[in-house]
Chains A and B, each alone.
Chain A
Amino acid sequence: MLSAMTFEISQGAAAPRTPCLGDDAVRVRGLRKAYGEHVALDGVDLTVARGEVLALLGPNGAGKTTLVEILEGHRRADAGAVSVLGFDPARRERGFRERIGVVLQETGLDQEIRVREALELYGAAYPQRRDVDEVLGLVGLEERGEAKARELSGGQRRRLDLALGIIGDPELVFLDEPTTGFDPAARRQSWELIDGLRELGKTILLTTHYMDEAQHLADRVVVLARGTVIANDTPDKLGREATVVSFRVVPGITLPAGARVERGIATFTSSAPTRDLAPLLGWAAAHDVELEGLSVGRPTLEDVYLELTA
């Protein structure tokens, strides 16, 4: 009996996260939202498994905030099915709000409130709340507990937003551009915090327009552009089929179709690099020129992103 249970549990833990209805934190099908004539979301499907960290990546205006705020219950969809932790977010039930943590892209706080006071006040309504000192430590504000909101720097304010987002010990955390405007050190620190949340088993849906952030934090990346999902994969697999070739252009060489030249460097993406490289190398050998800076490699997420959103 005991061994059978152990077997089941270990198998469950080892199994890949397969999307299955009861297990999904977020499930969205055919989501549409328009502002007047302007279509912000045009038939979006999205699934976030429990315990998963998903990055919603996309340029400004892609519809990230619109999507996230529909999931939080702040905006209403025009069409489509939305389920978040089994709730319909549009109904904004209290039980739903008790289990999510929200860090909005732009959000205010009383200028006169003190950091600790804010955490105690906003934490008070949650049935399960984290210890204020622990949360202050998590976001690196343990020294600023008595500071007023208006005395905090921009980065500290954002970390207080994060703290307020997790004070109620939510299962699912929405982070809308949590590090936009941060200096590199502050960004690293926030990444550690978000990694810490992952370790606690939280499901996290974050939006970003930084490739490195998605790559560093996310189990899976969904790329959104002009209101549609154009890619959905792990950061590693995203763009695995393609290879990026680049080198310094030399006069007389014939570049393959689709190559871009920027500041004298030619770059092209190829799914058959051997075939595409052969004529270039042949030409170079025949003319006895060296292709300076020649590199053949996996595309960075940035390459993929630029390619996808072009």
Chain B
Amino acid sequence: MIALTQQWVTTRMRLTLRNPRALVFTFAFPLILIVLFSALNGNAEVDAYGEKIRFAQFYTPAIAIFSLVAACYTSLILGISTARDQGLFKRVRATPLPMGIYLGSWVTGAMLTGIGAVVLLFVVSVPAFGVDIYARTLPAALLTLVLGAACLSSLGVAVSSLVKNAEQAMPVAQLTFLPISFISGIWFPLDGAPDWLVKVSHFFPLSHIVNAFGSCFVPGTSGSQLHGSDLLAIAIWTAVGLFVAVRRFRFEP
């Protein structure tokens, strides 16, 4: 059973990494953004998390979450709805493979790919742009990363169950992600945004993921930066996603 799960997860990831679209959005595009913007104004300072932070120090964790969204949310919506349209789910359903392992391989594969992409961004940013990471906040950062990946994947599966077909998948994924990304602190900090906007952004899970993760990279703070209320919001959205996914999942177009 464990060997079977492992085989499906590793193959699923291999297939994702062979897919040029996923590679571009998850790995290449975020990397280019970071390299480009940090090279342009890496030493400028931005107001974020109530502090003045060097641009690269703010931007790397924010774009890392963008990468996580691409791997877990966007890719899963597109991947699952395409697989369903092409009859892959139906094929699998007639084999003895337990459906839990099959769907689990999609989700686990997406989470591992997303976390891998985030690690890659830091591997580049730390030496290239002098981004600091702190041992004190690392556990909170990793926990946020894993819970965030789980949340985005669960929402990805849920949305893929709601979209009609693969053609709808990309626009729906972009239209749900992009507007929310602008009010969630990915492209610019929410410090100084009007109150109501901040309230709206707090309704969605993305701002909580960005905040819980980004806080771990703010210099001069103390403590572990474990943000309980953000993590709770993330957990609630994960549960909502799971609920919709279980209720609405379908094997055929």
Contact = CB atoms under 8 A, between A and B. Distances in A.
Given A108-B86, A117-B11, A125-B4, A100 B94 contact: yes
B93 A125 contact: no
B96 A121 contact: no
A112 interface: yes
A31 interface: no
Contact of A121 (B11, B18, B86): B11
Interface string A162-206: 001000100000000000000000000000000000000000000
A94 B98 contact: yes
B90 interface: yes
B127 to A, nearest CB: 32
Interface in B67-91: 83, 85-88, 90-91
Nearest to A127: B96
A37 interface: no
Interface residues of B, number: 22
Interface string A76-100: 0000000000000000101001101
B229 interface: no
B95 A168 contact: yes
Given A108-B83, A108-B87, A102 B94 contact: yes
Interface string B76-119: 00000001011110111111111000000000000000000000
A256 interface: no
A122 interface: yes
Nearest to A112: B18
Contacts of A168: 95-96
Contact of B86 (A74, A98, A109, A124): A109
B11 A107 contact: no
Nearest to B91: A107
Nearest to B97: A125
**In the complex, which of the residues B3, B19, B91, B96 has the most CB atoms of chain A within 10 Å of its own CB atom?**
B96
A122 B88 contact: no
Given A112-B18, A121-B7, A126 B86 contact: no
B94 A124 contact: no
A107 to B, nearest CB: 4
A72 interface: yes
A92 B93 CA distance: 9
A109 B91 contact: yes
23 contacts: A74-B90, A74-B93, A94-B98, A97-B94, A98-B96, A100-B94, A102-B94, A104-B91, A106-B87, A107-B87, A107-B88, A108-B85, A108-B86, A108-B88, A112-B15, A113-B11, A121-B8, A122-B91, A122-B97, A124-B3, A125-B4, A125-B98, A126-B96
Interface of B: 3-4, 7-8, 11, 15, 18-19, 83, 85-88, 90-98
